[in-house]
Structure 1
Amino acid sequence: MAITVKSKSAPPAPPAGVDELLSPKEIQGWLKTSRPSFYRWIKMGQFPKHDLIAGCKPRWKKSTVQAWIDSKGTQATQAKG
């Protein structure tokens, strides 16, 4: 009988058409921002409200965060014009 050992690797990618859910820590890493800055954005209403709560933990859809990033680029462009 063979024994298999699971290694700690990245979780599998979600199936096509399924929006990935991100934790605050994953978002902070993606945006390269500190924890205090991230939570300050939330408190000031500068970051989108979470999409759902998993247990007691907020989660954002990757598409929600991407839309927020895209809108920030659009706002910067509009401010120049």
Structure 2
Amino acid sequence: MTTKEQFLRIKQIASTSATPEKVHVYKSGDNIGKQRIIRAKEAQQGLISVSAKTIWEWVRQGKFPKPIKLSDNVTVWRKSDIDAWLEDKANAVMEA
């Protein structure tokens, strides 16, 4: 029995950081001086608690598995490669 290879996209691997809340102070009009809080987007949780930018930097440095480019807009990683990378990192921490 063969198992289908699974692939992951960057948004499934990396966590996107939440933008902090911003306070907007009105500078003119009827609401001058009043504040309004602009709510932050919730963080999306991926397999790894780093940003996509960090993942790409690790790929460039050879510290993370190389992706597979399917088209100009679609890049994926083999789930088995990511699982093996995570296992290696966990073993390194246990040995330290």
TM-score greater than 0.5 by the shorter chain: yes
Deviations 1:25-56 (A, max 9, x none): 21112213212211121121110112x22112
> Does 1:53 pair with 2:73?
no
One-letter identity of the residue aligned with 1:71 = D
Q: Which is worse superposed, 64-73 or 27-36?
A: 27-36
Unmatched 5+ residue regions in structure 2? 15-45
Equivalent residue pairs, number: 63
More helix by percentage: 1
SS at 2:47 equivalent: helix
SS at 1:30 equivalent: coil
TM-score normalised by structure 1 residue count: 0.65
More strand by percentage: 2
Residue 32 of structure 2 corresponds to which residue in structure 1?
A: none
SS at 1:67 equivalent: helix
Residue 33 of structure 2 corresponds to which residue in structure 1?
A: none
TM-score normalised by structure 2 residue count: 0.57
Unmatched 5+ residue regions in structure 1? 1-15
SS at 2:64 equivalent: coil
Equivalent of residue 7 in structure 2, options 17, 21, 39? 21
> Does 1:40 pair with 2:26?
no
Q: Which has the larger radius of gyration?
A: 2
